[in-house]
């Protein structure tokens, strides 16, 4: 029988409000994707923890439009993490306090983003090579909030000895400062999304800090991938990113296998239509109908491969730009039931 996925460390009483989690499967903070609709629909399929898309500390403190849309909350979407990114420890602490005041259940600090523009502004993965700044940032955030604090990292800036030493210094100090969890992507910052993710570092962190809640990430595109990571690394949970965009049913499938059940059949046409239409309606509450149609285009393009008319549907999503297009697409491609789609 599956056990609870996380230990609630004694260093933080607040962690008991979030950990232990009921299952190991969580949604990553996907920039441009982890909005209200994505989070709520993935949760309905088995995601036990969601993270909204990363927000800059400056946007939070200035109350910019981008930050407001990114922090749209729904009571059923609990627990939810606020993921923050910045380069100034003091501002990060202030922003973390603001996000908690808005209702977030935990704060996640991004030390893993490999995007060139982010690195050029000394944020995200850049800070894996600046342990003093990273550690001060963790301290400021930890002091500013009463909810659990977690961090997101990659296995290092690169595979050099210096980068490895910097990685372990940040991890060890984070634990000492009361961080309750870490999500580790199996690629280096320099790799970005190229090559294969190496999961060894995930296992090493769990062995070194057995009471730390460790989430693994990287190359999780099927339920079998998720179960294999849990088994190979001993991590407490997995953070599913790109695999959930194209196939949010990965949560349902992973949960069944974890419970020792048969893997569910792939989603039928009706199930696909109902889920993406529900996600669209949630997007309307966040963006309004016209912007929601454009926002849903990228989800539909990714998921078209599940449909028997994949090429036609893909093109229809590319053309999607307004509310009338959405209704026409739903009527043409999802109005009738069919047999289960082949994987």
Please list the active-site residues. 113
241 assigned binding-site residue: yes
314 assigned binding-site residue: no
185 assigned binding-site residue: yes
Q: What are phi and psi for residue 236, nearest 5 degrees?
A: -80, -30
| Distance between CA atoms of residues 331 and 325, nearest Å | 10
- Alpha helix positions (H), the chain: 36-44, 57-62, 65-70, 89-102, 116-120, 131-144, 161-176, 200-208, 223-233, 242-246, 250-258, 269-287, 289-303, 310-319, 323-333
96 assigned binding-site residue: no
Q: Say if strands 181-185 and 25-27 run parallel, antiparallel, or are unpaired.
A: unpaired
| Distance between CA atoms of residues 153 and 113, nearest Å | 8
Helices then strands, counting H and E runs in the chain, come out as 15, 9
| Distance between CA atoms of residues 55 and 58, nearest Å | 8
DSSP 8-state assignment for residue 248: T
295 assigned binding-site residue: no
Q: Which residues are annotated as a binding site for FMN?
A: 83, 152, 185, 241-242
């Amino acid at each position: 029988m599956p056990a609870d996925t996380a230990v609630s460390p004694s260093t933080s009483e607040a962690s008991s409000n979030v950990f232990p989690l009921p299952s190991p499967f969580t949604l990553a903070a996907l920039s441009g994707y982890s909005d209200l609709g994505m989070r709520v629909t993935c949760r309905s399929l088995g995601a036990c923890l969601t993270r909204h898309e990363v927000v800059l500390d400056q946007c939070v403190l200035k109350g910019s439009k981008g930050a407001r849309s990114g922090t749209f909350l729904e009571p059923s979407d609990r627990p939810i993490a606020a993921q923050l990114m910045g380069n100034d420890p003091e501002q990060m602490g202030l922003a973390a306090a603001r996000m908690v005041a808005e209702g977030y259940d935990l704060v996640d600090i991004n030390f893993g983003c490999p995007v060139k523009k982010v690195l050029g502004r000394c944020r995200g993965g850049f800070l894996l090579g600046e342990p003093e700044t990273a550690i001060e940032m963790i301290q400021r955030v930890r002091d500013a909030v009463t909810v659990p604090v977690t961090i997101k990292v990659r296995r290092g800036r690169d595979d050099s000895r210096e980068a490895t030493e910097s990685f372990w210094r940040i991890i060890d100090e984070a634990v000492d400062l009361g961080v309750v969890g870490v999500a580790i992507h199996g690629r280096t910052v320099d790799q970005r999304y190229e090559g294969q993710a190496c999961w060894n570092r995930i296992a090493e962190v769990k062995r070194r800090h057995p009471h730390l809640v460790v989430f693994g990430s990287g190359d999780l595109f099927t339920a079998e991938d998720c179960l294999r990571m849990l088994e190979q690394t001993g991590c407490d949970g997995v953070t599913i990113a790109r695999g959930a965009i194209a196939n949010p049913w990965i949560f349902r499938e992973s949960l069944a296998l974890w419970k020792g059940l048969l893997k569910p059949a792939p989603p039928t046409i009706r199930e696909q239509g109902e889920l993406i239409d529900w996600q669209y309606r949630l997007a309307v509450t966040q963006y309004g109908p016209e912007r929601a149609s454009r926002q849903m285009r990228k989800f539909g393009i990714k998921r078209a491969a599940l449909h028997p008319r994949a090429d036609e549907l893909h093109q229809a999503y590319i053309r999607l730009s307004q509310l009338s297009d959405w209704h026409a697409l739903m009527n043409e491609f999802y109005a009738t039931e069919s047999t289960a789609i082949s994987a």
